[in-house]
C-alpha cells in the first residue's frame, strides 16, 4: 500500500518551470563558415610558412632543399622592385593577420543581454580554426621578433 501511495505522490508532483529571461534560447549567427575560413586561412599562411621554413632550414640549420631555397631567393629578388616588394611584404605580414581575423570571425559569437547588462562572447570549438589562429599567431610573433631584433642591431 505504501508503494502505491508513493507512486501517486510522484505522479502528482509538479515539474519546475524556468522563468528566467537569461536562460532563453539565443540564436547565434556566425559571420563566416568555419570550413571556408579555415581553407582561406591555410591559403593565406602558405606563403609566410614556406618563406619562414626556407629561412630556418637554410640559415639556421644549414639544410639546402632545392625548391624551398629557390622560393626564398625568388621572394628576396623582389627587394629591388619597389612596388612588388611592398606587395610581397604585405602578403608575408598581412596574410597571417587576415587569417587570424577571418578564423576568429568564424568561431566567435557576440551577444548583449540588456536586462542583465551583460556582453557575452562565446567561442565554438572548431579545432582547425583554433589551430590556424595559433599557428598564424606564432608566425606573426616570429616575424615581428625578427624585425625588432634586426633593427636593434643596426644603429
65 in a structural domain: yes
Helices 82-107 & 34-55 angle (0-180, nearest 10): 140
9 in a structural domain: no
Q: How many domains does the chain have?
A: 1
106 in a structural domain: yes
What pLDDT shows up at residue 130?
93
pLDDT digits over 1-45, tens only? Answer: 677 787 787 777 777 665 655 555 555 566 677 888 888 899 999
89 in a structural domain: yes
pLDDT digits over 40-85, tens only? Answer: 899 999 888 888 888 888 777 888 787 877 877 888 787 788 888 8
10 in a structural domain: no
The answer to whether residues 90 and 83 touch, using CB atoms and an 8 Å cutoff, is: no
Q: Work out the pLDDT band at 110, boundaries 50, 70, 90.
A: confident
pLDDT, the chain, mean: 81
Strand partners, 110: 121
- Identify the domain containing residue 53 by its residue range: 33-153
111 in a structural domain: yes
Amino acid at each position: 500500500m505504501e508503494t502505491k501511495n508513493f507512486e501517486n505522490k510522484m505522479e502528482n508532483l509538479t515539474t519546475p518551470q524556468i522563468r528566467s529571461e537569461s536562460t532563453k534560447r539565443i540564436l547565434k549567427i556566425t559571420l563566416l563558415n568555419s570550413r571556408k575560413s579555415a581553407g582561406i586561412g591555410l591559403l593565406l599562411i602558405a606563403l609566410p610558412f614556406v618563406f619562414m621554413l626556407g629561412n630556418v632550414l637554410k640559415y639556421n640549420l644549414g639544410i639546402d632543399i632545392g625548391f624551398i631555397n629557390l622560393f626564398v631567393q625568388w621572394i628576396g629578388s623582389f627587394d629591388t622592385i619597389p612596388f612588388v616588394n611592398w606587395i610581397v611584404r604585405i602578403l608575408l605580414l598581412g596574410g597571417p593577420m587576415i587569417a587570424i581575423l577571418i578564423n576568429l570571425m568564424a568561431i566567435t559569437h557576440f551577444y548583449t543581454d540588456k536586462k542583465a547588462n551583460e556582453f557575452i562572447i562565446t567561442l565554438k570549438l572548431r579545432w582547425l580554426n583554433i589551430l590556424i589562429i595559433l599557428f598564424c599567431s606564432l608566425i606573426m610573433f616570429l616575424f615581428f621578433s625578427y624585425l625588432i631584433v634586426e633593427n636593434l642591431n643596426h644603429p
